[in-house]
Amino acid sequence: MFVGILTWLGLILPVFFSFFWPSFVAVYILLFDLYWVLRAFYMSNYLRLSYIKMKRALHTNYRQVLEAIEIKEGDPKWQEVYQVVMFATFREELDTLLPSVQSVVDADWPNQKVIIMLAGEESDAERLDHNASFLKEKFKGKIFDFIYSKHPSDIIGEVRGKGAGSAWAGRRLSEYVSSKGIDESKVLVTIADADTRFHRQYFNAICCEFLKNPDRHRRTYQPIPLYSNNIWYAPTISRLAAWGSSFWQMIEASRPWRLVNFSTHSYSLKMLREMDYWDATVVNEDSRQFWRAYFAFDGNHKAVPIYIPVYMDAVVGESLSVSLGNLYKQKRRWAYGVEHLPYIVTESIKNKKIPFWDKWCKIFRLVQGSYDWVVASMHLMFVGWLPIIFSESFRTTVLAYNYPDIARIILSIAWLAAIMSVYTSLSFLPPRPRGFGKMKYFEMVADWIVTPLSAIFFSSIPALEAQTRLMLGKYMGFWVTPKKSVK
């Protein structure tokens, strides 16, 4: 309940004080505006750093880097490492899965060291069997093997979703690897959504980090997700949300002390087994994986940024209303990651081996991030006007007279920081498809004008709903974002 209560207090108290202490609210909002302008430039700097690192990574031949790594006695050689890609799938059709699987086969990694696995659901058995049969036949002889699993629908205590299906598939994968006589410590597992397409150098890059790190079985390897597969076809709000999500992950990658698992990521099968695979009782299984590993290994776990992108779909539906509805639900599910707080706090209290400041700083960041997710946009857009609206006496003060101009100047400066976002979004666009003129580029630049409205309706409000549901015990289940694939 804690974060939900804190967030609602952050929304209600400014309204209350606008009646009785309007000057305090006005000064608070001016300071808040100034803080967020400074933070915008701070974030923009980290976005720039990640942009530079990604450009450098995209021009690096990681195969050459692999071959140059000095292997210590007892450590695996890169040629011995198997790459397993586990696609979590539910109701996705072949037109979504096929290009994702093809990207794995086309990657710069020895195909006879590649295993592709579909982690499907028993309730979607007919479609899963059809997709698996087609893909297995199409790529027969091109990779080491193609396997799939069906997660039963009637396991008591599970939250039906990606975590439960992945946990079931992970155990089946361990059984399979053992039956083939493969050493689990030489198997890298990448969990991915059905729409994830891999850069050719991705598997080389994660293997580089895996081999160079002596704590390789205590690390998660986190690439940068770019929601750009269908970005040309996405409506304005979906495009902004897609770039916003990508840029946030870029910013976090340059702050590795804050980085947690998100969507597509990789780790060794040995580590996965030792932490008992995935949590089958939560909605957001990716970030929970970070925390489960963090506590399972007494704080000796980090997410290592990989500056090679994986390409995913922006939210696109059959119509604008469907797209916006699906986007809202996706953001609400992501914001429901606040569900981890009780687990993190209780595990922090129990685990005495992790340094006090390390675990409690992480808790503070989670609370602050969840609070800001809702409150920041609301305060920047609306709260500053409350003293003028609700207090007649305040309207006659010098502060009230100057307040709109000061706030406008401060927030106008923030748009300078947005230039980096606009530039980066254009830099990472896929090639322009047929049927789109060059004027589409200007439309994509103009999209950023509606960022404040997008932040309110497709970030703050769904996050507020998610936190309120958790606070009131109206628990959410897992909602699968429908995929609409394009070539």
Q: Is the dihedral of CA 259, 261, 267, 272 positive or negative?
A: positive
Euclidean distance between CA atoms 86 and 151, whole angstroms: 14
**101 and 240 assigned to the same domain:** yes
| Range(s) of the domain holding residue 150 | 61-355
The band of 414, judged by pLDDT with boundaries at 50, 70 and 90, is confident
pLDDT (average), residues 33-57 = 93
Euclidean distance between CA atoms 453 and 460, whole angstroms: 10
Distances (CA, A) of 381 to 11, 41, 205, 460: 12, 19, 42, 11
**184 and 103 assigned to the same domain:** yes
pLDDT (average), residues 144-170 = 94
Residue 114 DSSP SS3:
strand
Beta bridge partners, 190, equal 85, 266
Residue 448: inside a domain: yes
What is the dihedral angle through the alpha carbons of 147, 286, 246, 315, rounded to the nearest 10 degrees?
A: 70
Q: Which of 355, 377, 404 is the last residue of a domain?
A: 355
**286 and 379 assigned to the same domain:** no
Better-scored residue on pLDDT, 72 or 101: 101
Amino acid identity at 188: L
The band of 410, judged by pLDDT with boundaries at 50, 70 and 90, is confident
Q: Which of 355, 374, 401 is the last residue of a domain?
A: 355
pLDDT (average), residues 12-33 = 91
**313 and 291 assigned to the same domain:** yes
| Percent above pLDDT 70 for the chain | 99
Whether pLDDT at 45 is above 90 = yes
Euclidean distance between CA atoms 262 and 274, whole angstroms: 20
pLDDT (average), residues 396-400 = 86
Better-scored residue on pLDDT, 477 or 461: 461
**218 and 312 assigned to the same domain:** yes
Q: pLDDT at position 4, please?
A: 97
**330 and 440 assigned to the same domain:** no
Residue 192: inside a domain: yes
Report whether 161 contacts 283 (CB < 8 A): yes
Whether pLDDT at 59 is above 80 = yes
The band of 487, judged by pLDDT with boundaries at 50, 70 and 90, is low
Euclidean distance between CA atoms 349 and 320, whole angstroms: 47
Q: Which helix (H) or strand (E) holds 447?
A: none
Q: pLDDT at position 484, please?
A: 67
Q: Which helix (H) or strand (E) holds 224?
A: strand 219-226
Q: pLDDT at position 170, please?
A: 97
Distances (CA, A) of 338 to 291, 310, 328, 341, 478: 12, 25, 17, 6, 14
Beta bridge partners, 249, equal none
Q: pLDDT at position 80, please?
A: 96
Residue 261: inside a domain: yes
Residue 146 DSSP SS3:
strand
Residue 84 DSSP SS3:
strand
Average pLDDT for the chain: 94
Whether pLDDT at 486 is above 70 = no
**183 and 313 assigned to the same domain:** yes
Residue 416: inside a domain: yes
Better-scored residue on pLDDT, 402 or 282: 282
pLDDT (average), residues 392-408 = 84
Q: What are phi and psi of 96, to 5 degrees?
A: -90, -45
Residue 156: inside a domain: yes
The band of 306, judged by pLDDT with boundaries at 50, 70 and 90, is very high
CATH of the domain at 307: 3.90.550.10
Q: Which helix (H) or strand (E) holds 120?
A: strand 114-121
Residue 487: inside a domain: no
Q: pLDDT at position 245, please?
A: 95
**325 and 381 assigned to the same domain:** no
**281 and 260 assigned to the same domain:** yes
Q: Of how many residues is the chain composed?
A: 487
Distances (CA, A) of 315 to 323, 474, 482, 484: 6, 26, 8, 8
* DSSP states along 331-399: HHHHHGGGGGHHHHHHHHHH--SS-HHHHHHHHHHHHHHHHHHHHHHHHHHTGGGHHHHH-TTGGGSHH
Whether pLDDT at 485 is above 80 = no
* DSSP states along 169-197: HHHHHHHHHHHTT--GGGEEEEEEETT-E
Residue 465: inside a domain: yes
Q: pLDDT at position 160, please?
A: 87
**351 and 383 assigned to the same domain:** no
The band of 127, judged by pLDDT with boundaries at 50, 70 and 90, is very high
Give the pairing type, strands 219-226 and 302-311: parallel
Residue 14: inside a domain: yes
Structure confidence by residue, pLDDT tens digits, 465-483: 999 999 999 999 887 888 7
| Count of C-beta atoms within a 10 Å radius of residue 74 | 5
Q: pLDDT at position 272, please?
A: 98
Distances (CA, A) of 286 to 162, 179, 282, 445: 9, 28, 10, 32
Q: What is the pTM of this model?
A: 0.93
**320 and 402 assigned to the same domain:** no
Q: Which helix (H) or strand (E) holds 145?
A: strand 145-151
Q: pLDDT at position 407, please?
A: 81
Structure confidence by residue, pLDDT tens digits, 448-457: 999 989 999 9
Lowest mean pLDDT among 27-36, 74-83, 390-399: 390-399
Q: Which of 295, 320, 355 is the last residue of a domain?
A: 355
**343 and 371 assigned to the same domain:** no
Structure confidence by residue, pLDDT tens digits, 164-185: 999 999 999 999 999 999 999 9
| Count of C-beta atoms within a 10 Å radius of residue 125 | 12
Q: Which residue has the tokens 């495009």?
A: 239
Structural domain count of the chain = 2
Determine the straight-line distance between the first and last CA of the chain, rounded to whole angstroms.
44
Euclidean distance between CA atoms 483 and 474, whole angstroms: 27
Q: pLDDT at position 315, please?
A: 95
